[in-house]
Amino acid sequence: MPTYKAPVEDVQFLLNDVFHIERYGNLPGFADASSDVLAAILEEAGKFAEEVLAPLNRVGDLEGCKRHDDGSVTTPTGFKQAYKQYADGGWMGVSVPAEYGGQGLPGTFTVMINELLGGANIAFSMYPGLTQGAIAALLHHGSDAIKKTYLPAMTAGKWTGTMNLTEPHCGTDLGLSRSKAVKQADGSYKITGTKIFISSGEHDLAENIIHLVLARTEGAPAGIKGLTLFVVPKFLVNADGSLGGRNGVMCGSIEHKMGIHGNSTAVLNYDSASGWIIGEENRGINAMFTMMNEARLGVAVQGLAISEVAYQNAVNYAKDRLQGRSISGVKAPDKPADPIIVHPDVRRMLMTIKALNEASRALVLWTALKADVAHRSDDEKARQAADDHMGLLTPVLKGVLTDNGLTNTVMAQQIFGGHGYIAEHGMEQFVRDARIMMIYEGANGIQALDLVGRKLGRDGGRAITAFFKEVSDYVKEHSADEAMKPYVAPLGEALAQLQQATMWFMQNALKKPDNAGAGSTDYMHLFGLVALGYMWAQMARTAQEKLKNGANGSEERMKAKLVTGRYFMERVLPESAAHLKRIQTGADTMMALPAEAF
Amino acid sequence: MPTYKAPVEDVQFLLNDVFHIERYGNLPGFADASSDVLAAILEEAGKFAEEVLAPLNRVGDLEGCKRHDDGSVTTPTGFKQAYKQYADGGWMGVSVPAEYGGQGLPGTFTVMINELLGGANIAFSMYPGLTQGAIAALLHHGSDAIKKTYLPAMTAGKWTGTMNLTEPHCGTDLGLSRSKAVKQADGSYKITGTKIFISSGEHDLAENIIHLVLARTEGAPAGIKGLTLFVVPKFLVNADGSLGGRNGVMCGSIEHKMGIHGNSTAVLNYDSASGWIIGEENRGINAMFTMMNEARLGVAVQGLAISEVAYQNAVNYAKDRLQGRSISGVKAPDKPADPIIVHPDVRRMLMTIKALNEASRALVLWTALKADVAHRSDDEKARQAADDHMGLLTPVLKGVLTDNGLTNTVMAQQIFGGHGYIAEHGMEQFVRDARIMMIYEGANGIQALDLVGRKLGRDGGRAITAFFKEVSDYVKEHSADEAMKPYVAPLGEALAQLQQATMWFMQNALKKPDNAGAGSTDYMHLFGLVALGYMWAQMARTAQEKLKNGANGSEERMKAKLVTGRYFMERVLPESAAHLKRIQTGADTMMALPAEAF
C-alpha cells in the first residue's frame, strides 16, 4: 500500500527562505504566522495527513460512496471519523476571519495544508476543499445575514459546501443553464432544476450541506448574464441557527466514475427548493468566479499533491526493487541485482517529477501569497498588482499542474512495471484520481482560452507586462553571476520565446481569432515552463546563498536543489521551443478540414 | 456506449496505393492476396469486430474474469461465443502455413486484422493475440513432433497459447528467474515454479491452453544464458491428439488491475508439470525473442487500435455536443450552441490523434510487410535487410505507438469533458486499457534501451545506416517538388536531428554508457517522429498522385490526407528539436544525486 510523507521541509524552505513570509508581516493575520507557528501547523497537518487520511485512500477507492433509496449517501469506512477529526482540529477555518470562528491565518496556510491533505487522500480532501470555496464565495458576496447564518457552522466544519454549475446539457457553456428561480413573497426563491457532477454533493459527514447554485430568475436575460447565485441548504436553517425541515434538493444518483471514488459525485434534483440570493441578481457568474479562482488554485494544488505522493512511492520502489545491473558498473555487488534507481531511464522519470513538483510547490505558494496580498493589503496598488498576478497565473497553475499531475503519476506508475498496473500497489489509483483534475473546475483547454482570450489583453495587458518585467529584471540582475548562469540563461531564452508567442498573438489573433484558440494550450504550457523556470532560478539562488552562509544542516538538500534545478533547465524547459513553433503555425491547417473529414 | 468502425478504406489505401502490395507477389502467400481478397477479408473482419466484439467491450470491463475455487476461470458474458465465432471463422490461422491448417496468407493480413479486433475489444483480442505469438515461437523453434502435436489445434483456435516469463521478483531482468526444469527418463521435463502476469493464462474459451515457459534446467548457468523454453500444456496431449490428464499447472489467482478486465491475468503455479523443450537448451531467451518481436509489434498495433477507437468516439461526440460559439462566427445558428468541433482547441486534439493514427497504421503495415519479406523471401539480401528493419523498428513501434496510445486516449477522453470521466461513456475504459500497453512485452524504457543499446550498433550499424539512407534518399528525391516541400523539408530537418543524436551517442556513450541510457527514451521518440514523418511524406505523395490521376471517388479523403500530413509536420514533428536537445545534455545532471536525495 502506498505511503505518504508530508513535504514539511520543502514548504518551510519556500515560505521562510525563498519567499520570506516575514516580509508580509504588515498584512492582517501574518503577524500570527511566525516560522514557529508555521512549523507547528505543518507538523500537525502532516501527522493528520500521514496517519489518518493516507490509510483511508485505498479504502475510499475500493468501497466508494453508496447511495441509498432515500437519496442519502454513505461515505467509505473511516471517512466520517476522519472528517470529525478534521473539523475538531479547526482545520476548516485556519484562514477564515475570527468573527466567524476562524483563526484568521494567511490563506497561504490553507493552501499549504491542502497540499498535504490531497497528497494523502484526494477524494477525502474534496469535502473540505469545496466547503472552503463556498465559504470564500459567501464571505465575498453574501449579505451580513447570510454570512451570520452559514459561516460559523461551515467554518467549524459542522456543515459542508458545494458548487452547482453543470447541467446535463451544459458544462463549459453555462449560458445554456436552465435551472429556474422563482421569487417568493418573503424575498426567498424557489429553485428548480437538475445539476450534475456535484462533488461532495451528498454525504454523511456533516449535519448540513450548503449548496451554492446558479439559476435563472424569471424574466432574466438568456445567456450567462441572466444567471444568479443562490444559497440552498440541504436542511433549512431556523432563526436561532438550529436545523429546520428538509429542503427540496435530493440526490438522484451518484456517478460511477474512473477515480475519486471516495468522493460522492452527485446528480442533485432541485424541486422548488428554497434559496436565497448571493450577491446581485444576474451577476451570479461574477460571484461564482471568485469561488472559481480559489477552486482552480485548489485543483492546481491537487495536481501537485498527487504528483508528490506518486513520486514518493516511486522513489521507494526504485530503491527497493532489484533488477538488472547499472551500465556504469555494478552498484550493489552483495545483491542479486542493483536497485533500479541506478538506471538512467528510471532516474529520468524520477528527476522529471521531482523537478516539476518542487517548482510547482513554489509557484503555488508564491501565488497563494499574492492572493493574500490581494485580499488583505491596504495598499491599493499592491492589491491590484497581486490581483493581476492571480488572474494571470490561476489558469496557468490549474492547466499546467494538473496536466503534469497526470503525466507524473503515469511516470511514477511506469517505474513499478507490471506491478504498477495491479490495484494493490495503489499507483493506478493515483493515475485515475489525477485524471479528473484536468477536467473539473474548467477543462484545461478552457483554462488556456481564459489565459489567452481574457487574461492577456485585460487592462491593456497590464498583468502580462508586469510578469514579463519581473522575470526579465530577475534574469538581468543575475546574468553576470557565474553560479546563476545555468539557471537564468535558459530562463531568459524561454522568456524570450514566451514574449515572441505573445507578440504573435497580438499580430495574428485580432484579424483571425482562431489563431488564438489554435495556440492557446501550447501558450499555457509555454507560460507554465517560464513560470516554473523562474521558481527554479529563485530556489537555486536561495540554495546558493544558504550554502554560502551556512545551511544549518540542510547542505545536502540545498545541493540537491541546485542539481534538480539544473535538470529542469536541461531536460524540462527545452519543450518551450516546440510550443512556440506550434503557436506560430496558427489555425489554418488545424481548421482546414470540414467536419465530415474526421 | 462507444461504437467502433473498422478503418477499412485506410488500410486499403495503404496496402494498395502507398505500399503496392502487388509488388510482393513473388512471396509465398502473396499471390493469393489480391486486392479483392484483401477487400473481402477486411469486410468480414470489420463486421466481426464491429458487430460481435465491440458490444462486448464494456461487458468485459464491468464483469471481468472470475476465478473459482478449483482454479478455473470464467471469462465475461459473451466472450466464449465470440471466441467460438473467431475460431470457426478461421481467423487464428490466416497467416499460418497450410500444412498446419492455416490459410498461408501474408502475416501482414493478420496484423491488419488484429488492429480491427483490438479497436473493438482489446481484452478479447489478447486471447488470440497471445496464441498467435505462441504459434510463431513453435513454428520457428519447435521440433517436427511438437509442431504436429500442437499447431493444428492452435491454428484452428481449439487451443490457445500463453507466454510465461515474469516471476514475482523478476520481470525485466529475466536472468533472475528461478523456475526449474528437471529432466525425466523419457526426455520430458518436470517444471516447477511460479509465473505471474500471464495474460490469457487461464480461461474457459478453449479446450486446452499451451503455455510456453522459461525455466532453468539442472546445472544450467546462472543468468539469462541458463534459461530454456518449454511447452507445457494445461491438459496433456495423447499420441492421437486427444486430450489426456490435467498437467501440474494451476491458476493460483488472477490480478485485480487497472484495465483489460476481460482478459485473465493469471498467477500460474507449476508443480512438477510436464514440459518439453522448444529449441535448444539454455537458448530459451533466443526462442522467446522470436515470439517477443511478433508480440511487440502486436502491442504496437494495440496502441494504434485503441487510439483509433477513442478517436472515432471523440469525433462523434465533438460533432454532437453543443457548447459555446465559434470565435470565428456562429456556425449553427439554428441551434442553441455550435458543436464543439468548431473550437480550435478541440480540433487540435482531434487532428493530433488523427495525424498520429494514420501514420502509425502506415508504419505498422510497412513493418509487417518487411516481416513477411524476412520470413518468406528466398533472396537472402532482401531477407537480411527486412530483418534489420524489423529489429530496428520493433522497439520504436512498441514504445512510441503505446505511449501515444495513452496520450491519445487521454485527449479523446478530454473532449468529453466531465462525461469522459464517467464510466458509462466508455472513454475512461480506453485510457485504463491503453495504460498496460506501455508496460507489458517490455516496458517502454526497455524498448528504448533495446533500440539504443542493442539495435543501433548491431552489425556495425547496418540497420540504422540503411534507414537513414532510405529516408534521406526520399527527401532528396522529392525536395525539388513544390507540392512535396511542406512534407519533405520538415522531414529532412527531423532526420538531420536524428542523425545528430545518433552521432552524439557514438561520440559520448562509449566513454560513459549512462549517456546512452539517459537519452534513450528521447531517442526512441525522436526516431518515432522521423519514421512517422516518413510515412506522412509517402502518404502525401500518393494522395497527390491519386488527385492528379483521378482519385476515383476518394478525392475528399485524399485532400484530407494532405491536410492531416501538413498538420503532422507543423504541430507534431517540432517536438524533435526538444528530444535532440535533451539527449545532448547527457547523463551528468540526471545521475548526480545520491539515492538518499530523492
Which pLDDT tens digits describe chain B residue by residue (598 residues)? Answer: 899 999 999 999 999 999 999 999 999 999 999 999 999 999 999 999 999 999 999 999 999 999 999 999 999 999 999 999 999 999 999 999 999 999 999 999 999 999 999 999 999 999 999 999 999 999 999 999 999 999 999 999 999 999 999 999 998 899 999 999 999 999 999 999 999 999 999 999 999 999 999 999 999 999 999 999 999 999 999 999 999 999 999 999 999 999 999 999 999 999 999 999 999 999 999 888 877 888 999 999 999 999 999 999 999 999 999 999 998 899 999 999 999 999 999 999 999 999 999 999 999 999 999 999 999 999 999 999 999 999 999 999 999 999 999 999 999 999 999 999 999 999 999 999 999 999 999 999 999 999 999 999 999 999 999 999 999 999 999 999 999 999 999 999 999 999 999 999 999 998 999 999 999 999 999 999 999 999 999 999 999 999 999 878 999 999 999 999 999 999 999 999 999 999 999 999 999 999 999 9
Alpha-carbon distance A409 to nearest alpha carbon in chain B (angstroms): 12
**Residue of A58, A347, A566 for testing the chain B interface, max B β-carbons within 10 Å:** A347
The arithmetic mean of pLDDT across residues A126-146, rounded, is 96
| CA of B70 vs chain A CAs: smallest distance (Å) | 23
CA distance linking residue A316 with residue A338, whole number of Å: 14
Task: Please state, in angstroms and as integers, the Cα–Cα distance from residue A259 to each residue in A60, A133, A366, B262, following that order.
Answer: 10, 22, 30, 19
Please judge whether B518 and A347 are an interchain contact, meaning their C-beta atoms are less than 8 angstroms apart. Answer: yes
Q: Which of B167, B308, B358, B441 is catalytic?
A: B441
Instruction: Return the pLDDT at A449.
Output: 97
Residue A95 to chain B, least CA–CA distance (Å): 30
| Chain A residues within 8 A of B324 when measuring between CB atoms | 172-173
Nearest CA distance, A145 vs chain B (angstrom): 35
Instruction: Compute the distance between CA of residue A185 and CA of residue B436 in angstroms, rounded to an integer.
Output: 60
A477 part of the active site: no
> Among the residues of A204-283, which ranges form H helices?
none
Q: Which residues of A touch B330 (CB under 8 A)?
A: none
Q: Which residues pair with B339 in a beta bridge?
A: B322
**Residues 553-582, chain B, touching A (beta carbon < 8 A):** 556-557, 559-560, 563-564, 566-567, 570-571, 574-575, 577-578, 581-582
Residues in chain B with CB shorter than 8 Å from the CB of A436 are 421
Interface contact flag, A344 B435, Cβ < 8 Å: no
Contact criterion met (CB < 8 Å) for A443 and B560: no
In the predicted model, is pLDDT for residue A291 greater than 80?
no
Residue A150 falls inside a structural domain? no
CB contact (8 A) between residue B422 and residue A257 = yes
Cell of B136: 510463431
Instruction: Specify whether the backbone of B10 is left (phi greater than 0), alpha (psi in -120 to 50) or beta.
Output: alpha
Residue A41, pLDDT score:
98
What does the angle CA A303 – CA A307 – CA A311 come to, to the nearest 5 degrees? 175
Q: Which residue in the set B319, B589, B595 is minimally distant from A566, CB to CB?
A: B589
pLDDT of residue A125: 98
Amino acid identity, residue A129? Answer: G
Residue from B165, B173, B346, B596 whose CB has the most chain A CBs within 10 Å, to mutate: B173
**In this predicted structure, what is the pLDDT of residue B294?**
83
Residue B405, domain member (yes or no): no
State mean pLDDT over A293-311: 96
Nearest-by-Cβ selection for B520 from A172, A176, A345: A345
User: Measured between CB atoms, which of A341, A443, A593 is closest to B595?
Assistant: A341
Task: Indicate the SS3 state at residue A214.
Answer: strand
Q: Which backbone phi and psi does A46 adopt, to 5 degrees?
A: -60, -45
B261 touches chain A (CB under 8 A): no
Distance CA B368, CA B386 (A): 10
Cell, residue A157: 466544519
Residue carrying C-alpha cell 526520399? B474
* CB B270, CB B248: distance < 8 Å: yes
Q: Among the options A441, A477, A482, A556, which is catalytic?
A: A441
| Residues of A in Cβ contact (< 8 Å) with B444 | 414
Question: What residues make up the domain containing A475?
Answer: 457-589
What local confidence, expressed as pLDDT, does residue A552 receive? 83
Smallest CA–CA distance from B428 into chain A, residue? A258
Q: Cβ of A327 and B591 within 8 Å?
A: no
Residue of A nearest to B511 (CA): A328
ipTM value > 0.90: yes
How confident is residue A290, by pLDDT bands cut at 50, 70 and 90?
A: confident
The reply to whether B523 falls in a domain is: yes
Residue among B258, B327, B406 minimizing CB distance to A423: B258
CA distance B275 to B181: 8
Q: What is the pLDDT of residues A59-109, one digit of tens each?
A: 999 999 999 999 999 999 999 999 999 999 999 999 999 999 999 999 999
Say if B463 falls within a structural domain: yes
Q: Residue B343 is nearest to which of A315, A517, A581, comparing CB atoms?
A: A517
Query: So what's the pLDDT on residue B518?
Result: 98
Which residue do the cell numbers 481574457 mark?
A: A454
Instruction: Count Cβ neighbours within 10 Å for each residue of A338-374 and write b for 16 or more, e otherwise.
Output: bbbbbbbbbbbbbbbbbbbbbbbbbbbbbbbbbbbbb
Within an 8 Å CB–CB cutoff, is residue A170 touching chain B?
Answer: yes
The residues in A 71-110 lying below 8 A from B, measured between CB atoms, are: none
Instruction: Give chain B positions within 8 Å (CB) of A431.
Output: 258, 435
Q: How far apart are CA B308 and CA B304, in angstroms?
A: 6
Using an 8 Å CB-CB cutoff, list chain A residues near B424: 256
- Shortest distance between the Cα of A327 and any Cα of chain B, in A, equals 6
pLDDT tens by residue, A315-343: 999 999 999 999 889 999 999 999 999 99
Specify the amino acid at residue A483.
Answer: A
Verify whether the Cβ–Cβ distance A589 to B571 is below 8 Å: yes
Looking at the complex, report in whole angstroms how far the Cα of residue B87 sits from the nearest Cα belonging to chain A: 30
Residue of chain B minimizing CA distance to A423: B257
Instruction: Kindly report, residue by residue over A192-246, the tens digit of the pLDDT.
Output: 999 999 999 999 999 999 999 999 999 999 999 999 999 999 999 999 999 999 9
**Grid cell for residue A113:** 495544508
Mean pLDDT, chain A, rounded, equals 97
d(CA A46, nearest CA chain B) in Å: 19
CA distance A201 to A211: 8
CB of A432 less than 8 A from some CB of B: yes
Residue B305 included in any domain: no
Which helix or strand (DSSP H or E) is residue A190 part of?
A: strand A189-199
Answer whether A354 sits within 8 Å of B598, measured CB to CB. yes
- What number of other Cβ atoms are within 10 A of residue A327's Cβ? 18
- Chain A from 473 to 532: CB within 8 A of any B CB: 512-514, 516-518, 520-521
Measured on CA atoms in the order B339, B343, B349, B351, is the torsion positive or negative?
positive
Total domain count, chain A: 1
- The number of C-beta contacts closer than 8 angstroms across A and B is 257
Asked if residue B179 belongs to a domain, the reply is no
